Chains A and B, each alone.
Chain A
Amino acid sequence: MRYIGGSKKYVRLRMAVLTIVLCFSFAFSATAQALLNIGGTAPDFSVRDLEGKDVSLSQFTGKKAVVILFWSTWSAKSTKAFKRMQDFYEKYKDRGIQVVGINADNETISREDVENIKKFVKETGITFPVLTDKALKTFRAYEIIALPSTVIVTEGKISYELPGFPLVGTEDMFDYLLGLAGETPKKKMEVRYKPQHDSIADASLARKFMAKEKYDMAYPLLQKAIERDPKYMLAYIELAKLYDLEGKDREAEETFKKALASDAESVPVMSEFGYFLTKKGKIKEAVEILDKAAKMNSYTPSHYYLAYALSKNGQAKEALSAFDAALALNPYEPMIYILRGEHYEMNKMHKEASADYRKALELTLKIK
């Protein structure tokens, strides 16, 4: 589409002036999808290694599994994740397991950044390919919500996702990897839930209709997705959000409750439900559910939604600390700055509010 003054690409260029880079999908709607990508097609990527050579996911076709470790030099847990993954890679690289590390230090990677990454890789003794992600395209395509995060791709689909590097979840993931490498897992693995293909397809189509504001088309698809696979949490979340968007609060709440009845431990559902309750003024209920969600794993939205609920509950100190926890996991999420901006605004701290809203807009427009 062209309009006076140039193309969309042109706008991107313009944005790049204040160090403006290309823009991808907006993160506001990404949270529901995060952690719920399992079963979906893994987006192909084409990134560069530290020597400038192109590397793409498709070049690993034929491998049993591709383990993508999203990491950053500034995240302490990334070092731990790297070392642990290196040990695994050394043992099992000949069993069809490919590991790649995708760096997410910055939106734009300078020569200096590359040197820093090289230094980090040398110090940690990493031998698997370490890649740079220009404008965080791959980071966003995989809807990564925390650093580090591990995504396992088998047969072109995302078969496992682990945000952060939590104690328990990490062992489960390595057990899963052992199974893929043909070894006996350390503990008996439960049969992993895989969403039904048709439900994924219906929900995906519904999201496209929602993006085009064709809500009438989205409702039946989401309802059908739930009917087909009552364990598919993404469909519940999207349906509840749709009801919320159209002011159907009762239906939205019922949908969240149905989702929790089907999977009481779903952190994404608890997080989105908590945020919904906060917006509706049911603060105590929201804090309770969000606190539980935040303690369960490194799902970043649970931390910033909790922060927001705490702020609404008049617990400013605790709120700011929860915002910090969210930022430590993912400083690229605009929603964290928007909600904290609202907190500052509510407390008449206009300078701080301005800085946060500015940061949110910079992340949204990809301005550095």
Chain B
Amino acid sequence: MRSGKLAIRTASGRDLSRRILFLLLGVALVFVPMKALAQQDSSDKAASLLKDSIKLFDEGDTDKAIEAARESIKADPSNADAYDRLGYMLLKKDQADEAMGAFDSALKINPRMRTSKTGKGLVLLKKGDLKGAEAILKEALELNPYPSMTHYALGLVYEKMGDYEKSVEQFKDGIKKYKSGKR
């Protein structure tokens, strides 16, 4: 008898496990795609917000552009591009510390983000840390296959240092590389 009860219990246990398994599967079948869809939705929303932000920025409405970039980051905090763009917008508004924070966030997600390194160089230049700016811009230059803008920033640093021969070299390199299609 005992073994019979056990057998029934075991059978019921197996049945229960199977039911739970089916239930979980069902849940997974419903919720995983839902989650994926939700992720897709928020990623689409983030992309659309970022697009709006760029348009606003192009039109000169930096404040609204910043707002839209922040909304985009809220919708998808894993997008390094969004942080980077926000950094440049904040830099334009002379919010150097906030800009630095945004560039750091971008670099946390993508440590090889050369544009954020250039951005950090520009922040440091703005703050008067010329040596720091020079160092990070040189790093960006190594990573950057389209370096005219980084040459420009480095030229500004050398101009500020009063080293005009070096700044001439950087500006000329920027022009030359732009002409050769390396933008």
> Do A3 and B146 contact each other (CB < 8 Å), given the known contacts A13-B85, A361-B155?
yes
The yes or no answer to B2 lying at the interface (CB within 8 A) is no
Among the listed stretches B12-20, B37-45, B127-135, B175-183, which one makes contact with chain A, having 4 or more residues with CB under 8 Å of it? B175-183
A-B pairs with lowest CB-CB distance, top 5: A357-B171, A350-B164, A5-B115, A17-B88, A354-B164
Q: How far is the CA of A28 from the CA of B180 in the complex (A)?
A: 11
B172 touches A357 (CB 8 A): yes
Chain A interface main SS type: helix
CB-based contact A13/B54 at 8 Å: yes
Q: Which residues of A sit under 8 angstroms from B112, Cβ to Cβ?
A: 4
Interface string of B83-125 (1 = CB under 8 A from A): 0110011011000000000000000001011111011001000
- Nearest-Cβ distance from residue A15 to partner chain B, whole angstroms: 6
Stretch from A19-27, A215-223, A251-259, A322-330 forming part of the interface with B: A19-27
A354-B171 CB under 8 A given contacts A5-B81, A5-B113, A365-B148:
yes
Pair A358/B155 contact, Cβ less than 8 Å: yes
A360 within 8 A of B: yes
Asked, given contacts A5-B114, A5-B115, whether A351 binds B152 with beta carbons under 8 Å apart, the answer is no
- A19–B57 alpha-carbon span in the complex (Å): 10
19 additional contacts (CB under 8 A) given A17-B88, A354-B168: A3-B146, A6-B81, A11-B183, A14-B85, A14-B119, A16-B58, A16-B92, A18-B92, A19-B92, A334-B175, A354-B164, A354-B167, A354-B171, A361-B152, A361-B155, A361-B174, A361-B175, A365-B148, A367-B152
Known contacts A17-B122, A26-B178, A358-B171; A9/B54 CB under 8 A: yes
Which residues 325-348 in A have Cβ within 8 Å of B in the complex? Answer: 334, 338, 341, 345
Most buried by B among A17, A28, A341: A17
- The answer to whether the Cβ of A364 comes within 8 Å of any Cβ in the partner chain is yes
Known contacts A6-B115, A11-B183: A21-B178 contact under CB 8 Å: no
| Distance, CA A342 to CA B21, complexed state (A) | 78
Does B149 touch A at the CB level, under 8 Å? yes
Is A86 on the interface with B (CB-CB < 8 A)?
Answer: no
Asked whether any CB of chain B lies closer than 8 Å to the CB of A60, the reply is no
Q: Tell me how many residue pairs across A and B have CB atoms closer than 8 Å.
A: 111
**A13/B122 contact (C-beta < 8 A), A26-B178, A358-B171 known:** no
**Could you list 23 examples of A-B contacts with CB < 8 Å?**
A5-B81, A6-B81, A9-B54, A10-B54, A11-B183, A13-B54, A13-B57, A14-B84, A14-B88, A14-B118, A16-B58, A17-B92, A18-B122, A350-B164, A350-B168, A357-B155, A357-B168, A358-B152, A360-B175, A361-B174, A362-B152, A364-B148, A364-B175
A residues less than 8 Å from B26 (CB atoms): none
Q: Is B165 an interface residue (CB 8 A)?
A: yes
- Checking B57, B113, B146, B156 against A11 with a beta-carbon cut-off of 8 angstroms, the contacting residue is B146
A345 to B60, CA, bound (A): 36
Question: How many angstroms between the C-alpha atoms of A102 and B57 in the bound complex?
Answer: 23
Chain B residues with CB under 8 Å of chain A are: 54, 57-58, 60, 81, 84-85, 88-89, 91-92, 110, 112-116, 118-119, 122, 143, 145-146, 148-149, 151-152, 155-156, 159, 164-165, 167-168, 171-172, 174-175, 178-179, 183
Q: Contacts of A364 on B, CB cut-off 8 Å? A: 148, 174-175, 178
CB distance from A332 to the nearest CB of B (A): 15
Asked if A108 CB lies within 8 Å of chain B CBs, one says yes
Q: Say yes or no: is A203 at the interface (Cβ < 8 Å to chain B).
A: no
Shortest CB distance A176–B (Å): 37
- Taking CB atoms and an 8 Å cut-off, the chain A residues in 259-275 that contact chain B are none
Task: Report the separation of the CA atoms of residues A161 and B166 in the bound assembly, to the nearest whole angstrom.
Answer: 42
Query: In the bound complex, what is the Cα–Cα distance between A21 and B159 (angstroms)?
Result: 23
Rounded to whole angstroms, the CA-CA distance of A8 and B152 in the bound complex is 17
Residues of the B chain whose Cβ atoms lie less than 8 Å from the Cβ of A341:
168
CB of B138, distance to nearest CB on chain A (Å)? 17
Which residues of A have CB within 8 Å of B92?
16-19
Query: What chain A residues lie within 8 Å of B164 (beta carbons)?
Result: 350-351, 353-354
Minimum Cβ distance to chain B for residue A308 (Å): 16
By beta carbon, the residue of chain A nearest B165 is A350
Residue of A nearest to B90 (CB): A17
Q: Which residue of B lies closest to A360 (CB)?
A: B175
Closest A residue to B58 by beta carbon equals A22
Tell me which residues across on chain A come within 8 A of B183, comparing CB atoms.
8, 11
A14 and B114 CA atoms in complex are apart in Å by 12
Asked if A16 and B84 sit within 8 Å, CB to CB, the answer is no
Determine the distance from Cα of A112 to Cα of B179 in the docked complex, in whole angstroms.
Answer: 34
**Residues of A with C-beta under 8 A to B165:** 350
Q: Name the residue on A nearest B114 (C-beta).
A: A5
Asked if B88 and A358 sit within 8 Å, CB to CB, the answer is no
